[in-house]
Amino acid sequence: MDSIVIHGGIPLHGSVEASGAKNAALPLLALAILADEPVIYHRIPHLQDISTMMTLLAYQGADVTFDDQNRLHIDCRNADKPEAPYELVKTMRASALVLGPLLAKFRRAKVSLPGGCAIGARPIDLHLRGLEAMGATISVEHGYVTAEVPDGLKGAHIVFEQVTVTGTENLMMAAVLAEGETILDRAAREPEVVNLADALRALGADISGDGTDRIVVRGVKSIHGGDVFTIADRIETATYLTAGLITGGDVTVTRSNPADLQAFLRKVEQAGALVEIGDDWIRCAVQGQLQGVNMNTMPHPGFPTDLQAQFMALMCLAGDSSIIRETIFENRFMHVQELIRMGANIQLDGHTAIVKGVSKLSGAPVMATDLRASAGLVLAALAAEGETVISRVYHIDRGYERIEEKLRILGAHIERRSESENFVRGVRFVDEQQ
């Protein structure tokens, strides 16, 4: 198991380019199931979750290849296995995104209940209820969802009990080939949902209302192939901007979309940071001591839950205190104890964290517990005095493309260390799982 070693205390300066968004790319890959022709993908990030989704599509019979221009081609015309086995999806919750397209295309599907980060319950009940409203018969047994709809999906009016991004994306894709009109009320408004709708429209789907809480999909007989473009990763963008701020530096992220990060940029401006934006770039720089500001995570256009850990790390070194409330996931404060090991002053009260700024953090051995928590620990380590060793960094590989390389471009002292050897009571042995 690898670890990341960081020697902190160095202000980061410079410019890095945003990668394509993981959370946009995963549903974009799933939409290939619906297409009657090959789909060509641009700006697909090279991440573990992306590789898992590509492997899953290949398992189903799709032809999955990269060309000499690093474009990904997916051709599902010969796909004949509408299944997603546990062995392939156990590490990725987004695997549930294939359920709607498989059911729409093949009229049957068998998909393992997904795995992924242990940040709280993210049940797919809302997905299943929506598909049932569209006429599907669904059973859940032995960890698998089995669904069938012999006469094809029918349009329906679906009102989500709570905002769900993957639920919105799943049912939107299912509705593309359904008979009649489907209305999704209380739909997610995230940029990744809009990216998916844009891509589906480019391939022949009839969708309107994306970006609002009511999406209308009018079913079509088929969609064709074509080019699909992934938006910039707003979470990665904000993470690198925060890396500049937490170290007292000045960082610009290019090929990004400032409109997707308005809530984050407002908060760092309130904290006292300099924020400058252009058409496709964002710059954040320190102008003195940052001050603590309060923040609640909310569905888009509110402050993203995926940036809560990174923002908390920043607030650990801000003047005064801040109150951070997590309203999306019930178990997303697992990074708090690790930050405390580094010298942070944080008190938890249910879903609320009270962060009192300290003058410095100190390097320490810490453990990543999920994807975004690991990013928060990397940020804290960049600012901390001395060496920090972050273990279980396979989490970060699920969502950050070439993170060590990009941080080194900005001046960070960071390296990855392989831990293939363990020591127990003076006896050295090789971990057989490596």
Active-site residues, by number, are: 117
Q: How far apart are CA 374 and CA 363, in angstroms?
A: 15
Q: How far apart are CA 109 and CA 103, in angstroms?
A: 6
Q: Residues 113, 144: contact at Cβ < 8 Å?
A: yes
At 268, the amino acid letter reads: V
Q: How far apart are CA 34 and CA 244, in angstroms?
A: 42
Closest CA to 259 of 207, 200, 328, 189: 189
Q: How far apart are CA 147 and CA 107, in angstroms?
A: 8
Half-sphere exposure of 409 (CA within 13 A, CB side): 13
Q: Helices (H) and strands (E) in the chain — how many of each?
A: 13, 26
Q: How far apart are CA 264 and CA 147, in angstroms?
A: 40
User: For the sheet containing 226-229, what is the strand order?
Assistant: 63-66, 72-75, 39-42, 226-229
Q: Residues 242, 410: contact at Cβ < 8 Å?
A: no
